Structure formats: structure tokens, C-alpha cells
Amino acid sequence: MVESGGGTWWLHFAQDSGPARDDGLLARVGRQGVRLDAGRPFFLDREGVPHDAANRFFASGRMRNLAAGTNRKYAFALRTWFNFLHLRGKEWTGASESDLFDYRFWRTSASDNPRRISGATWQGDLA
């Protein structure tokens, strides 16, 4: 399993070979009925609780039919969005249009963001 942290939500990727670091981790996600093909991204919070909606999205037929690289790109973009909302004290289900505008400004223009992105990358992240 490969993982990437950096906030409240942890992003993991199922591997196709080699020993898993934590079989219990994969079991928790699998209990949601989520299919964990090799390379499939999945989200857990800091307490190890799976993010049901995000994990089901990445296990959907729509995402399984996209390239692994596309899945990775979408997963990293979604993790950044979830963590941005968390820092604002919001759940993803309570996000507003104003949150999205603030997020776009922070991702593309804010001088206090050392990892700003281009407009083209922003458009890709919206996909």
C-alpha cells in the first residue's frame, strides 16, 4: 500500500503485490463493499475511518474505466479539497459555492500558498 498524508484525510493506494503494511486497514475499507483493485485510491481519516462516499466513487465503474494515472490525479485533488474544507471547519457535504471560490483563489492565486497551480491544472482538478 502506498499512502500520502498531509492533513486530516489520508489518501492510500492499494498495491497488487507485496505484503500490505496493515491488513486491518484494507479490511476496514473492504467492509464498505468497496472494490480495491491494484492502484485503487482510498481515503481514511486520522482515526482510520473510511470516507464512504469518496471510496465508493473511486470503486465505481466510471472510475475503474479510467487510467490509473487519472485516478491518482483525481484522488490527490479531492484530498486537497477535503483538507481545505477541514481547515475551515466544514464537512465536504456542507461546502458552499463561496467555499469553492475561496478554494480556487487559494489554489491559484493566494500569495501564502507556496504550491499554487495554473489555471489549466485547476480545470483538470474540477473534472
Per-domain residue ranges for the chain?
2-95
Determine the Cα–Cα distance for residues 29 and 26; give it in Å rounded to an integer. Answer: 5
- The pTM of the full predicted model, rounded to 2 decimals, is 0.77
Name residue 13's beta-bridge partners: 2, 41
Which pLDDT tens digit goes with each residue over 66-108?
998 999 999 999 999 999 998 899 988 999 999 999 999 999 9
Report yes or no: 32 and 58 within 8 Å, Cβ to Cβ. no
Which pLDDT tens digit goes with each residue over 20-50?
555 555 555 555 555 667 788 989 887 888 8
Report yes or no: 60 and 67 within 8 Å, Cβ to Cβ. no
